[in-house]
Amino acid sequence: MKRSAKLIIMLGILAVLIVGAVIQKQFFPAENDSDYTDDGSSVIAYAANDVVLENVTALSYEKDSAKLSFKKSGEEWVLDEENAPDIDSELVHAMATAISGLSGANRMEDVPKEKLADYGLDAPALKVTVSEDDKVRTFLFGDYNKTAKEYYFCDEAIPSLVFTVVSSSYEAFDYVIDDLIVHGTLPEIAAENITGFSFKNADGETVIKSIKTPTDENEEGYTYSAEITKNGVTEEYSYADFYKAAEAVAEWNIDEFITSDASKTSEYGFETPSVLTVNYTERKEIEAEGASGGYIDTEKTYSLILGTADGEGCYYVKTEEDSRLIYKLSTAVFSEIFG
């Protein structure tokens, strides 16, 4: 065989090997040293990013046309916005953990831009932005691969390098703001410890209080009554009605959450709110050297900011005037009393 013919054959073989190497590199790239574990089995893992959890100072994500942003405050995660309610810091920490040092079971290199639509990365279902000091990176989650049971994933700055990553890394961001909020609670108070109420609105203030009168000089027994003061005039009030209100307070908690949307303030009547104040006593043990078995009743108070009442006479409420969290008082008793 002539030398030129052999050269042509060798070049042809070399071309085939090069094409094969490219295919091998794209679909079966070099292994990572780490192991990737999913439902108990270990397989090859490829580093999808090099985010270091301890260095993450801020985190945000966009999903379903909504965006949430968080920042580190000491060791805790908080919402990065004004007048932000408290949130579950551990859930946000779990998000930061899920996106840090993420590994993929598959890696595809040199993916052309027009191919990204095949993986849902042209219009990602989830976009996560991570700040490590002065370094900011955004990662994209695309479609769910039902066969691999994983999501397509890439760094927005390197869209030609696509991975499939465990579904839990996507699901860690499956929260809306109302899921993350830490809701307020009211003090646990026995009805017999409630000593009074006041209701203040644009028309003035109404105060109802109980009166505890000793039946003898040794104060071993008491009689109870109540009085109401409205527009400066004090009158006798039914103690049975007072105690009915006290029982309602003792059983109620702010467990009917309405919204955290600050734009709803006027819709629920908080531009001209009323204020309900509850007075009660709290028994505490005396903590002093030599004291044994002693106690003292201390006067306590808490207030609720009330908006309008719904059609059943139940009020929309906030636990603090500047809070954006709106609840509903699940009893109409105060409409009946203060009407």
Provide the residue type at 331 as one letter.
Answer: T
Domain count, the chain: 2
Return the SS3 of 51.
coil
**Rounded to 5 degrees, what angle do the CA atoms 157, 138, 140 make?**
85
pLDDT digit string, tens, across residues 24-59 = 333 334 345 444 444 555 567 899 999 999 999 999
Chain Cα centroid distance, residue 297: 37
Q: Across the strands, what pairs with 206? A: 199, 230
Residue finishing a domain among 115, 145, 180: 180
Return the SS3 of 92.
helix
Question: What's the average model confidence in pLDDT over 327-337?
Answer: 76
- Would you state the pLDDT for residue 35? 47
Q: Across the strands, what pairs with 309? A: 315
Domain presence at residue 104: yes
Indicate whether 35 and 99 sit together in one domain: yes
Give the CB-side neighbour count of residue 334, counting CA atoms within 13 A: 30
pLDDT band at residue 74 using 50, 70 and 90 as cut-offs: very high
**R_g over Cα of the chain:** 33
Provide the residue type at 159 as one letter.
Answer: P
Residue finishing a domain among 180, 201, 217: 180
Return the SS3 of 243.
helix
Indicate whether 74 and 40 sit together in one domain: yes
286 vs 310, residue with greater confidence: 310
Indicate whether 173 and 197 sit together in one domain: no
Indicate whether 174 and 41 sit together in one domain: yes
Res 10 pLDDT > 90: no
Q: How far lies 163's CA from each of 108, 208, 294, 299, 327, in Å?
A: 6, 67, 67, 62, 44
pLDDT digit string, tens, across residues 185-231 = 888 899 999 999 999 988 899 999 999 888 876 666 788 999 999 98
Indicate whether 173 and 276 sit together in one domain: no
Question: What's the average model confidence in pLDDT over 71-75?
Answer: 94
The answer to whether 307 and 273 are in contact (CB under 8 A) is yes
Give the closest residue to 317 by CA, choosing from 246, 250, 256: 256
Domain presence at residue 14: no
The dihedral through the CA atoms of 197, 200, 201, 203 has a sign that is positive
pLDDT band at residue 329 using 50, 70 and 90 as cut-offs: confident
| Single pTM value for the model | 0.72
Res 124 pLDDT > 90: yes
List the domain range (segments joined by +) for residue 76. 31-180
- Would you state the pLDDT for residue 98? 97
Indicate whether 54 and 167 sit together in one domain: yes
Res 114 pLDDT > 90: yes
- Would you state the pLDDT for residue 315? 87
Please give the Cα distance from 97 to 172 (Å, whole number). 9
Please give the Cα distance from 146 to 126 (Å, whole number). 17
Res 235 pLDDT > 50: yes
- Would you state the pLDDT for residue 313? 78
- Would you state the pLDDT for residue 326? 94
pLDDT band at residue 129 using 50, 70 and 90 as cut-offs: very high
Question: What's the average model confidence in pLDDT over 75-98?
Answer: 94
CB-based contacts of 290: which residues, under 8 Å, 6+ apart? none
**Backbone φ and ψ of 262, nearest 5°:** -65, -20
Residue finishing a domain among 147, 180, 213: 180
H helix and E strand count, the chain: 6, 20
Indicate whether 40 and 120 sit together in one domain: yes
Return the SS3 of 226.
strand
Give per-residue burial for 180-204: e unless 16+ CB within 10 Å, then b.
bbeebeeeebebebbbbbbbbeeee
CB-based contacts of 53: which residues, under 8 Å, 6+ apart? 96, 97, 100, 101
- Would you state the pLDDT for residue 285? 74
Return the SS3 of 54.
helix
Domain presence at residue 12: no
Q: How far lies 291's CA from each of 14, 41, 56, 284, 288, in Å?
A: 94, 62, 51, 13, 5
For residues 116, 118, 124, 128, the Cα torsion angle rounded to the nearest 10 degrees is -60
pLDDT digit string, tens, across residues 292-303 = 567 788 999 999
142 Rama class: left (phi>0) / alpha (psi -120 to 50) / beta: beta
